Amino acid sequence: MKRDQQKIQTRKNLFQAAIELFNYKGVQKTKVTDIAKEANVSTGTFYIHFKSKEDIISAIYYEDFNNYMCGNIQKINQLDLDCKKALLEIGILELKFAKNVGIEVTTIAL
């Protein structure tokens, strides 16, 4: 795996580890060391990608949400729905994302 690909994969692993731990333990009880351990990286590697626990929360919400929505909105566009139905589908996608990452992460990131 090339270095750029490895960095992207490490970041994804950190996102997933953080989401799992936040949903299981809660944000307050989850430490950066827990996230790094769950992602199988060193704490130093965590800090290469993120400044803090709050930083990864923002990144999960804004970056991951953006990627999730972009991919899914393309699918909605292909359905050729009227505006009302398309907006309803987009709202459902937002709720699914919030459920996946956890309400706590969603509300903290906002």
**44 has a pLDDT exceeding 90:** yes
Question: What pLDDT is stored for residue 74 in this prediction?
Answer: 87
Q: What is the CA radius of gyration of the chain?
A: 16
* Chain length of the chain: 110
Q: What are the structural domains of the chain?
A: 3-109 (1.10.357.10)
Question: What pLDDT is stored for residue 53 in this prediction?
Answer: 94
| Residues in contact with 98: Cβ distance below 8 Å, sequence separation at least 6, in sequence order | 106
Q: What is the pLDDT of residues 53-66, one digit of tens each?
A: 999 999 988 888 88
Q: Are the C-beta atoms of residues 14 and 49 closer than 8 Å to each other?
A: yes
27-36, 39-48, 71-80, 83-92: least confident range = 71-80
pTM of the model: 0.81
What token pair was written down for 99? 């459920």
Q: Are the C-beta atoms of residues 9 and 89 closer than 8 Å to each other?
A: no
The DSSP output letter for 41 is: S
